[in-house]
A and B are shown apart, each in its own frame.
Chain A
């Protein structure tokens, strides 16, 4: 990515503005405990942001990640007596199976991704609730906790490291691998992707399994942090994660977006929340601020879209393609 293009990224400017804001006015932003908190707070959602970026570039959508988090978290805690490694593998398999089911509905039966994953969100949540009887399960193995609470390299939280790996892999996948090209092609125009020989069903399968897998990782890490398998975690997660991805330049109609952009979106939301925390602003304001950010973003995007070229910062295939206006593509 060359420098000139980087400077046209609105996410980057927002990020710089936020950094200046918290540095100048936030008491104790640049302290180790606060930075550690910040890293932990966005790492767990961050892994899912990467998975969601892949799905959304491919023109999809996944509402079920919050429920998958809870599923993986509960399974890993329940299976701990079999050994940590086995428990983690079992949880990740369960998460991937949900992704496969999503892909079968969306790619195989051609159900609208929004409704398909809404259904799996409800079904998986129901399964988890029924299985645990809506009660949290305490973890039996005290060493399990370290997965969410340990630090490496003298103070860097382990969840942060997991996130860095997820980010690096996603970036590599989207920029340098064949499957990455195919995902962009699929999201850009499914029909032409198919006619140019891309196995679209297989690519969709890949996207949704990776996304669910990432939600599985997040669920395991969060359970480790809480030292509990809670059936109610992740209720608002999907919308938060999608906000970060959209903020990072992806669009609901697919074909655009990047790991780097989504990282920017994630950091913006993380910094905004952290900054408001430092000012002792009640948590409710954070929700309002996040909502306003989303509204402002979409409004600016549309105003720029309809304004003359001088004002348009980057001609993006815009957010409106899935909405009512502008000959939207047929969603089913």
Chain B
């Protein structure tokens, strides 16, 4: 029974898959399932970063802005030859890590409120990005095949972004469950003062958590840039909320200390399956927004009233 409650997100996901598979013959096909996986990988990578920060007891609302920054910079590096391709991967990654470190330094060292700091950071970054490109679209033509493959490539029949998503998820899951980092981050999220008193370097580990979330958001940005290659500089708006929705669906506790990377993966997949199902039935995009919101509210209301998904 305990196992049942602990893994309820997976059950919800399975129920949805079964439901959609019986309702539509187009759903349970290899190509459609791979399609879902590919579509969720961008928001999924962001969500996996966000959950690490959330377990440490903090919010990161700047991930949408970091994603935009990474995507725009990646395209602006014009990956038309091997050197520039390398640059258009490394530069956004470095920026994402830098912004994450700045967030983490302000929040960890000064113990400032994470919502305010990351919202402020979001304003600063989106402003800088718009200024950098003068509010115009940015585009790259003749990108190298390697750059293109980051979003459009396949390996053994599975899209490359899915590998990247799984890699980041596995890495974060390993970090959170098998290393000192994970132990410390959980301790900080559970009770920062207690963690400090037993000798956990709180500021440093909060900073690490934000670096992970910044890096994850910039990886998503690079994949997005590789897929679109003609970018609106406001492309990442709202990703922070989608990611947070997935994280909350995955049962992470908002006050920190509890949360699971694999459950976040399930949350991401649930959102992806819903979006896909609605598309299969030709429901308009706006309706998808509505359903996503209702599911979020229902999940937290259920979680709050029955304490489902905790422990």
A293 to B119, CA, bound (A): 11
B206 contacts across to A, CB distance below 8 A: 324
User: Size class of B's contact patch?
Assistant: 35 or more
Query: B131 to A129, Cβ gap below 8 A?
Result: no
Residues in chain B near residue A115, CB distance under 8 A: 244, 248, 254, 296, 300
Q: Mark B131-159, 1 if CB is under 8 A from A, else 0.
A: 10001000000000000000000000000
In the bound complex, do residue B120 and residue A123 qualify as a contact, i.e. CB atoms below 8 Å apart?
Answer: no
**Which residues of A come within 8 Å of B, CB atoms?**
105, 109-112, 114-116, 118-127, 129-130, 133-134, 235, 239, 242-243, 246, 252, 282, 284-295, 297-299, 301-303, 306, 319-320, 322-328, 330-332
Shortest CB-to-CB span from A109 to chain B, Å, is: 5
Choose, from B66-74, B76-84, B283-291, the stretch at the interface: B283-291
Compute how far the CA of A114 lies from the CA of B60 in the bound complex, rounded to whole angstroms. Answer: 13
Q: Are B116 and A118 in contact (CB under 8 A)?
A: no
Given that A127-B290, A291-B127, A325-B202 are contacting pairs, would A122 and B193 also be in contact in the complex, using a CB cutoff of 8 Å?
no
- Majority secondary structure, B binding face: helix
Across-interface contacts of B127 in A (CB, < 8 A): 284-291
Q: Which of B279-305 contact A (CB under 8 A)?
A: 284, 286-294, 296-297, 300-301, 304-305
Known pairs A287-B130, A323-B115 / 9 extra A-B pairs, C-beta < 8 Å: A116-B300, A121-B293, A124-B293, A125-B293, A133-B286, A294-B117, A319-B116, A324-B188, A325-B202
Q: How far is the CA of A332 from the CA of B256 in the complex (A)?
A: 10
CA distance A126 to B128 in the complex (A): 30
Q: Which of A126, A298, A326 has a CB less than 8 Å from the CB of B290? A: A126
Within 8 Å CB of B196, what residues of A? 325
Q: Which residue of B lies closest to A117 (CB)?
A: B297
**Is B193 a contact of A325 with CB atoms below 8 Å?**
yes
Cβ of A327 and Cβ of B241 under 8 Å apart?
no
Given A291-B121, A325-B192, also A118-B241 (CB < 8 A):
yes
Cβ of B213 within 8 Å of any chain A Cβ, yes or no, is no
CA distance A134 to B202 in the complex (A): 46
A-facing mask of B101-116, CB < 8 A → 1, else 0?
A: 0000011001111111
Nearest-CB residue, chain B, relative to A320: B111
Q: Which of B116, B130, B131 is in CB contact (< 8 Å) with A298? A: B116
**Smallest Cβ-Cβ distance to B307: which chain A residue:** A332
Chain B residues near A239 (CB-CB < 8 A): 119, 122-123
Partner of B117, one of A116, A133, A287, A295: A295
Write the nearest CB–CB distance from B96 to chain A, whole angstroms.
17
B-chain residues with CB within 8 Å of residue A290 when the two chains form the complex: 123, 127
Query: Are A295 and B120 interface neighbours, CB within 8 A?
Result: yes
Contact: A126 with B121, CB < 8 Å? no
A133 CA to B286 CA, complexed, in Å = 8
Q: Are A119 and B255 in contact (CB under 8 A)?
A: no
Structural contact, A118 and B296, CB atoms closer than 8 A:
yes
In the complex the two chains form, is A326's CB within 8 Å of B111's CB? yes
Highest count of chain A CB atoms <10 Å: which of B116, B131, B202, B253: B116
Q: How far is the CB of B115 from chain A (nearest CB, A)?
A: 6
Total cross-chain contacts (CB, 8 A): 189
Verify A285–B123 contact, CB threshold 8 A: no
Among A282, A299, A323, find the residue whose CB has the most chain B CB atoms closer than 10 A: A323
Q: Inside 8 A of A118's CB, which chain B residues have their CB?
A: 241, 244-245, 296
CA–CA, A260 to B244, complex, Å?
Answer: 34
Smallest CB-CB separation from B233: which chain A residue?
Answer: A284
Whole-angstrom CA separation of A1 from B152 in the bound complex:
63
Whether the pair A322, B115 counts as a contact (CB closer than 8 A) is yes
Cα A283 to Cα B207 in complex, Å, equals 31
Cβ of B124 under 8 Å from chain A: yes
The answer for the CA separation of A295 and B129 in the assembled complex, in Å, is 18
Contact at A322–B293, with CB atoms within 8 Å?
A: no
| Chain A residues, CB < 8 A from B241 | 118, 122
Which residues in B have their C-beta under 8 angstroms from that of A123?
Answer: 290, 293-294, 297
Q: Which residue of A lies closest to B62 (CB)?
A: A291
CB within 8 A of B110: which of A252, A287, A294, A299?
A: A299
- Closest partner residue, chain A, to B61 (CB atom): A239
- Chain B residues within an 8 Å CB radius of A306: 110
Chain B: minimal CB distance from A64 (Å):
10
- Contact: A122 with B113, CB < 8 Å? no
Residues A291 and B122 in contact, CB atoms below 8 Å apart: yes
Task: List chain B residues, Cβ under 8 A from A323.
Answer: 57-58, 107, 111-115
The proximity string for B residues 169-191 relative to A, scoring 1 for CB distances below 8 Å and 0 otherwise, is 00000000000000000001101
Q: A residues within 8 A CB of B248?
A: 115
Give residues of chain B (229-255) contacting chain A, Cβ–Cβ below 8 Å. Answer: 237, 241, 244-245, 248, 253-255
Tell me which residues across on chain B come within 8 A of A326, comparing CB atoms: 111, 192-193
Task: List the A side residues contacting B119 at CB < 8 Å.
Answer: 239, 242-243, 291, 294
**B260 proximal to A (CB < 8 A):** no
Q: Is the CB of A332 within 8 A of B255?
A: yes
CB of A287 within 8 A of CB of B111, answer no
Q: Give complex CA distance A328, B254 in Å.
A: 12
Instruction: Determine whether B126 belongs to the interface, using a CB cutoff of 8 Å to chain A.
Output: yes
Asked if B270 CB lies within 8 Å of chain A CBs, one says: no
Q: Is B56 an interface residue (CB 8 A)?
A: yes
CB distance B254 to A332 under 8 Å? yes
Q: B254 contacts which chain A residues (CB < 8 A)?
A: 112, 114-115, 331-332
CB-contact partner of A252 in B115, B128, B202, B293, under 8 A: B115
